[in-house]
Amino acid sequence: MIDTRSYLLAILTLLPLSTFCAEMSNTVPLELEKSAHASPWKRYSTWRQSNWNNYCNLRQGITRPVSFIQTIETPIKGSPANGKKLIANRKKGNCVACHILPDVSLPGNVGINISTLGIWQRPDDFLFNHIYDPRIYNHYTVMPPFGAYGILTKAEIKDVVSYLQSLKKVVEFDNPVDNPEKRPVPVEERDNLDEFENPGMFALELGEALFNKRGSRGQSCQDCHENPEESFARWAVNMPKVEPRLNKVIGIEEFVTRHARATTGAEYLAQSEENLALAIYLRYLANGQAIAIETNDLNTQIALRRAEDLITRKIGQLNFACTDCHRLNAGKWIRGQHLTNMVGMLDHFPTYRTSRGEIWDIRKRFQWCNVSVRANELPPDAPEYGDLELYLMIKSNGRILSVPGIRH
């Protein structure tokens, strides 16, 4: 008779030693305890600092219910002059982000042209309620619930209604670019890999230097990875991926933070200059390769299901989902900004943004798209952003990686 213990021992001695060694060396060293960003997370000082705790974001809260129809006295006697100010005020109505209205430059066309609304004979109380909460009339609308979500007061909505009822003349565009139907779609033609054209290329130099720099433990990346051009020639086109030890999707930026802590001892916090530089360098090594995220893996499938929920979730005071702008209205204009669809969004990140004079990694772009709909952003290493990055990177599968990018 052979007992279980000696049976197991017999099997273990039969297995070649290399089985264990291979497993050991495959485990990429990662620091797993600390957060990858400066904590507590604080929004960039140059961004709008409002706090939208009362509205849901990608992590917490749920979309508020559709409002009841408000009973109001008609005819509405608001101030058309104030209404005219509100429709173009970015912090208030900003109706021109989506609607053509008189006397504004670069109106958008996500909504219909309402510049002659005054002759449509819409009842005042219908217009009031349509602005108060358009979801009453169309559950799937992308127009924000201005009254129900406290963007405009009832008095302000009345002013807007009085202004809209005064509009009778079709808008003529003196300058053709003001017409969203005719406005030329921006095409990025600058050579992103030319250091004279793309200031983001400076980060590459820094990234290379950091790869050779010794950390507090006396070693550099180079000491363990002698030939990065070869060993990492494809690594970046397979990222991000699910990291089971952290139970989330991690991207290249977070990998850099955690792997450096565990190896060289260097501290490259998320969105620091050094972190961006190394993340750009590691992608640069795979430039020219087709993005190839493995999609059959079960963990990836589960992450993708979470991402489907996240991209369609209505968030923030303006009540937008990613898909409202990047799927339903892709190809249209939101004020002067042309909305792109989700294919090919991530083949050029991190990207130098000329309009801001800074390099943005993918997570910072997500944060911006949250704050601009008045939803609290999440920290850069948030699991939710990991799911979104994975989802969008898969939408870029087959496209050629070209980093650092350059955009307006």
Other residues' Cβ atoms within 10 Å of the Cβ of residue 92: 16
Q: Is 404 in the site for ligand HEC (CB under 6 A)?
A: no
Structure token pair of residue 404: 């650092």
Which one among 36, 56, 100, 110 touches ligand HEC, defined by CB under 6 A?
Answer: 110
* Pairwise CA distance, residues 122 & 124, whole Å: 6
Is residue 340 involved in binding ligand HEC (CB under 6 A)?
yes
Torsion of CA 28, 29, 32, 36, to 10 degrees: -90
> Which residue in the set 56, 97, 201, 371 belongs to the binding site for ligand HEC (CB under 6 A)?
97
List Cβ neighbours of 269 (8 Å cut-off, separation of 6 or more): 36, 37, 38, 257, 275
Instruction: Specify whether the CB–CB gap between 131 and 147 falls below 8 A.
Output: yes
Nearest residue (CB) to ligand HEC, 14 versus 132: 132
Q: Which stretch binds ligand HEC (CB under 6 A): 1-9, 24-32, 48-56, 171-179?
A: 24-32
| Least distance between ligand HEC and beta carbon 325 (Å) | 3
Indicate if the alpha-carbon torsion angle 319, 355, 345, 221 is positive or negative: negative
* Residue 112 near ligand HEC by CB under 6 A: yes
Which of the residues 272 through 291 are near ligand HEC (CB under 6 A)?
278, 282
Q: Determine which residue in the list 8, 9, 21, 28 makes contact with ligand HEC, applying CB under 6 A.
A: 28
What is the pattern of x (binds ligand HEC, CB under 6 A) and - over residues 341-370?
Answer: ----x-------------------xx--xx
The least distance separating ligand HEC from the CB of residue 245, rounded to whole angstroms, comes to 12
At a CB cut-off of 8 Å and minimum separation 6, what does 1 contact?
A: none
Sign of CA dihedral 194, 197, 199, 200: negative
Report the distance separating Cα 315 and Cα 327, nearest Å.
16
Query: Which residues here bind ligand HEC, judged by CB under 6 A?
Result: 25, 28-29, 87, 93-95, 97-99, 110-112, 114, 117, 122, 127, 130-131, 134, 138, 141-144, 146, 160, 211, 219, 221, 223-225, 232, 235, 256, 259-260, 263-264, 278, 282, 320, 322, 324-326, 334, 337, 339-340, 345, 365-366, 369-370, 373, 388, 392, 407
